[in-house]
Structure 1
Amino acid sequence: MNKIWTTAMVPLIALILAVMMLIYPLASWEAGVRGLAIWWDVLFPSLFPFFVISELMLGFGIVHFIGKLLDPLMQPLFRIPGTGGFVAAMSFASGYPVSAKLTTQLRRQLLIGREEGERLVAFTTTSDPIFLIGAVSVGFFGNQRLAGALALVHYGSAIIVGLIMRFYGRKQEIHAPRTTSSSPTEARFSLKQAVKAMHQARMMDGRSLGELMRQSILSSLQLMMVVGGLVVFFSVILEVLTSANVMSFFYSAVEALLTFFHLPSDLAQAFVGGTFEVTLGAKASAAPTDVPFMFRAAAAAFILSWGGLSVHAQVASILNDADLRYLPFLFARLLHAFLATALMLLVWKPLMHTSPSFKGLEQPENLLQRWNEVPGLFILFVKIVLTLLILSLLARIIQQLLSSLPWQKDKTKK
């Protein structure tokens, strides 16, 4: 019954959208041009190099090297093989949808199980720091101090999502042997074993440098075409719905919901826009200057963590290349969005109580001259590194305790 309903509804919705595009041709064309400009000017130069480099690193076995080093941390905390550490690092650095791309590659090579891949995509799909800091904090809000708080709640809540998602999929998975061991007694830091795993992976791949480069570029170009098409598509759809006054219904519904929870109703446009596209929603969250800064920042945190239906469509299309399911990703996005919003409201006073009110956008050249901010950023970086080291140490202690339990010793003897 559900398949019949879906089969009937999808063509009907497509027909309605096509008719609306014919009614508003100028708005459709302008929105398509804007979406294409975003793809060509922003997304292509920022994402394409990461896609190519990630393919090369996978072929050279660097993924297996990093995975072996990170195995003691990833296994006890997130129930994910060490190769997931490479995905997390690349995804946090380059943003969505890099996580889905890398995870499907690992899944096709049977380096991770199905539910492991779904857990990995669930908490590593995040915004990239360049967009979060440069575009949202400085560009839209005109307050560079917001960057630290926004990054803390966005990436911190993503890690919390990963800790929660570790309880998803409790059944033992069956897949091919991989280079990173899941045994508590074997999952230890070893540089020698990491180099050995990289060498074995490179020998198994066997492609020459030229062939590896050619396939990496072709695969990345194919993915970029999918990303660009989805950005243009959602840009046109959102503009057509706005021209047809359809969006006013969503605005009214969200306003009523915000009023019910005693939140500023002026943020309705930001939430509705962010539901479809993250850039539009983040920009709209900074617009209503009569709304307290704290609530605007919380709305931006929600929108960045949700990602927008455009990102969801990109991730779903990539996951479709493997056997990874979309529903766990959807649940994780909702969880991430609400956690980020709650954390922003909780840490606002200790982090932003001395933040000056802003009245306009700061010029980039002025920001480059403010070298007094560098020590603060360095201290934040050191704190993050120390936190990761402490988590790694705790993970190692947990593994030692688990391996010393009586029933673990019995399993080892058997």
Structure 2
Amino acid sequence: MVFKRLTAFLFLIAALLLAVVMIGYPEASWQAGVRGLAIWWDVLFPSLFPFFVISEVMLGFGIVHFLGKLLDPLMKPVFRIPGNGGFVLAMGFASGYPVSAKLATKLREQRLVSRIEGERLVSFTTSSDPIFLIGAVSVGFFGNPKLAGALALSHYGGALLIGLVMRFYRPDRDEPASSEEGVGSGRFSLKLALQAMHEARIQDGRRLGELLRQAVVSSLQLMTVVGGLVVFFSVILEVLTASGFMSSLYGGFRHLLPLLGLPSQLAEPLMGGLFEVTLGAKAAAAPEGIPLMYKAAAAAFILSWGGLSVHAQVASILNGADLRYFPFLAARFLHAVLSAGLLLLIWNPLMGSAPAWAIASPKFGQDEVLYGWQALPGAFRFFLVTMAILLILSFLSSFIHRLRQRK
């Protein structure tokens, strides 16, 4: 009780101080608000809103139950979550934060995952989308398409490592999330998957028009929350910078980084990335006289941490269910450290030899007609590839399990 009162008092003091600073710097606040609103409307809304609607519709049609049955032989033994988590993993990796939190909350509301399983799921499926990582960070900010492979491997590889770590999170509290038969049976069965999808569709019962209407309304409400938080943190960061508070933090951080074996010039990007991922990743590419390896490691750290803006978005979504925020916070910090360490570890083998498989720079402004696979949106392609890999691994896991049972 005392701790809650102290926390509430500190939040009140912080809010009053921020209000005073915003009044003192009205022009900076207005410009930052406009910039944050532009980021939400131009980038976040068109990239996230379709995924929110599609995921709601797929849940209503039972497609998530279908994929959950197929992926159960893989997700249960590896990550200690039901197979439905495989869909969240693929959607989270393809569309970026905070889609996985939205989906995990939906699964929890439908009792498809337990509380502990939901917290594990959100902790390692929250990631940057490949379009932002490749197009914005690697190509746009760093101007180096070959950096995309190393950043993607460290970022998504680090997320999977977090998943392996989180399987040991409160194993004594594991409990069945639902009473469905066949969950966790270790069988890769298309018949069981189709049956689960059919039963889920009947249980849902909504017609297509009603399902689509509710999906759009729910997604618009969430996008409003996301946009408000982006604008809020954009204003906060700008007024703190204008007041000189951030300069003091930069100065203290510059003395700390050399103790960790890192260049002191990375203090500003890392502190900026603490608040907002886009500004931090852009600042990481700016310092001159620093080896590219360290700048890329700073970008990997920032992308995996996500920024307080993303944290606030996820916390607001988790608040709709009984999922707790602290496991997500601990996993984000561990993911950031692991991603930066992985990038430094794989830098020489990958970037030292300028790999030929590095992702090429996208070509904009050309009248080029794309067909087939290349015509699909990048995020959707990434989702399909991720799902294909997960299904293959799930089939192999089920096959090996059956061989062991025969022996």
In structure 1, the residue matched to 2:178 is: 176
In structure 2, the residue matched to 1:247 is: 246
In structure 2, the residue matched to 1:55 is: 56
In structure 1, the residue matched to 2:24 is: 23
Alpha-carbon separation, structure 1, partners of 2:6 and 2:107: 34
In structure 1, the residue matched to 2:321 is: 322
What TM-score does the superposition give when structure 1 sets the normalisation length?
A: 0.88
Alpha-carbon separation, structure 1, partners of 2:243 and 2:406: 66
Q: Which moved more, 1:170-179 or 1:141-150?
A: 170-179
Alpha-carbon separation, structure 2, partners of 1:106 and 1:189: 21
Cα–Cα, structure 1 residues 383 and 235, in superposed 2: closer, same or farther, change >3 Å?
A: closer
State whether structure 2 residue 316 is matched by structure 1 residue 286. Answer: no
Alpha-carbon separation, structure 2, partners of 1:144 and 1:165: 32
Displacement of 1:249 after TM fit? 1.6
In structure 2, the residue matched to 1:295 is: 294
Alpha-carbon separation, structure 2, partners of 1:365 and 1:40: 21
The residue type equivalent to 2:351 in the other structure is M
**Mapping for residues 15-414 of structure 1, pairs under 5 Å:** 15-171=16-172, 172-178=174-180, 181-182=183-184, 186-355=185-354, 364-365=363-364, 391-392=393-394, 395-396=397-398, 399-400=401-402
Secondary structure, in 3 states, of the residue corresponding to 1:237? helix
State whether structure 2 residue 8 is matched by structure 1 residue 7. Answer: yes
Cα–Cα, structure 1 residues 286 and 191, in superposed 2: closer, same or farther, change >3 Å?
A: same
The residue type equivalent to 2:60 in the other structure is G
Secondary structure, in 3 states, of the residue corresponding to 1:144? coil
Cα–Cα, structure 1 residues 366 and 179, in superposed 2: closer, same or farther, change >3 Å?
A: farther
Cα–Cα, structure 1 residues 328 and 199, in superposed 2: closer, same or farther, change >3 Å?
A: same
Are the counterparts in 2 of residues 121 and 329 from structure 1 also a CA contact under 8 Å? yes
Displacement of 1:393 after TM fit? 6.1
Q: Where does structure 1 lack aligned partners over 5 or more consecutive residues?
A: 357-361, 406-414
Displacement of 1:322 after TM fit? 0.2
In structure 2, the residue matched to 1:409 is: none
Alpha-carbon separation, structure 2, partners of 1:289 and 1:391: 43
In structure 1, the residue matched to 2:358 is: none
CA-to-partner distance for each residue in 1:353-375, whole Å, 9 max, x for gaps? 1349xxxxx88449999x9xx9x
Displacement of 1:103 after TM fit? 0.3
The residue type equivalent to 2:198 in the other structure is H
The residue type equivalent to 2:398 in the other structure is R
Alpha-carbon separation, structure 2, partners of 1:298 and 1:32: 29
Alpha-carbon separation, structure 1, partners of 2:36 and 2:279: 11
CA RMSD of aligned residues (A): 2.6
Alpha-carbon separation, structure 1, partners of 2:147 and 2:194: 40
Displacement of 1:132 after TM fit? 0.3
Cα–Cα, structure 1 residues 404 and 308, in superposed 2: closer, same or farther, change >3 Å?
A: farther
Are the counterparts in 1 of residues 188 and 395 from structure 2 also a CA contact under 8 Å? no
Displacement of 1:262 after TM fit? 2.2
CA-to-partner distance for each residue in 1:213-271, whole Å, 9 max, x for gaps? 11000000000000000000000000000010000121112211111122111111110
The residue type equivalent to 1:252 in the other structure is G
The residue type equivalent to 1:234 in the other structure is F
Are the counterparts in 2 of residues 150 and 344 from structure 1 also a CA contact under 8 Å? yes
Alpha-carbon separation, structure 1, partners of 2:182 and 2:261: 49
In structure 2, the residue matched to 1:412 is: none
Are the counterparts in 2 of residues 76 and 399 from structure 1 also a CA contact under 8 Å? no
Are the counterparts in 2 of residues 270 and 281 from structure 1 also a CA contact under 8 Å? yes
Q: Which moved more, 1:246-255 or 1:69-78?
A: 246-255
Cα–Cα, structure 1 residues 363 and 60, in superposed 2: closer, same or farther, change >3 Å?
A: closer
Cα–Cα, structure 1 residues 365 and 104, in superposed 2: closer, same or farther, change >3 Å?
A: closer
Alpha-carbon separation, structure 2, partners of 1:404 and 1:250: 62
Are the counterparts in 1 of residues 93 and 383 from structure 2 also a CA contact under 8 Å? no
Displacement of 1:169 after TM fit? 1.6
Cα–Cα, structure 1 residues 198 and 302, in superposed 2: closer, same or farther, change >3 Å?
A: same
The residue type equivalent to 2:313 in the other structure is Q
Displacement of 1:385 after TM fit? 8.8
Cα–Cα, structure 1 residues 238 and 383, in superposed 2: closer, same or farther, change >3 Å?
A: closer
Cα–Cα, structure 1 residues 338 and 401, in superposed 2: closer, same or farther, change >3 Å?
A: farther
What TM-score does the superposition give when structure 2 sets the normalisation length?
A: 0.90
Displacement of 1:401 after TM fit? 8.0
The residue type equivalent to 2:267 in the other structure is A
Displacement of 1:6 after TM fit? 1.3
Secondary structure, in 3 states, of the residue corresponding to 2:171? coil
Question: Which structure exhibits the higher relative contact order, with contacts defined as CA atoms closer than 8 Å and separated by 6 or more residues?
Answer: 2
Alpha-carbon separation, structure 1, partners of 2:30 and 2:175: 48
CA-to-partner distance for each residue in 1:173-219, whole Å, 9 max, x for gaps? 1543246612xxx2211111111110000000000111101100000
Displacement of 1:395 after TM fit? 3.5
The residue type equivalent to 1:176 in the other structure is S
The residue type equivalent to 1:330 in the other structure is L
Matched residue count: 390
Are the counterparts in 2 of residues 77 and 395 from structure 1 also a CA contact under 8 Å? no
Q: Where does structure 2 lack aligned partners over 5 or more consecutive residues?
A: 356-360
Are the counterparts in 1 of residues 305 and 332 from structure 2 also a CA contact under 8 Å? yes
Displacement of 1:7 after TM fit? 1.8
Are the counterparts in 2 of residues 305 and 336 from structure 1 also a CA contact under 8 Å? yes
Are the counterparts in 2 of residues 96 and 126 from structure 1 also a CA contact under 8 Å? yes
Moved over 2 A (4+): 362-369, 380-405
Cα–Cα, structure 1 residues 365 and 222, in superposed 2: closer, same or farther, change >3 Å?
A: closer
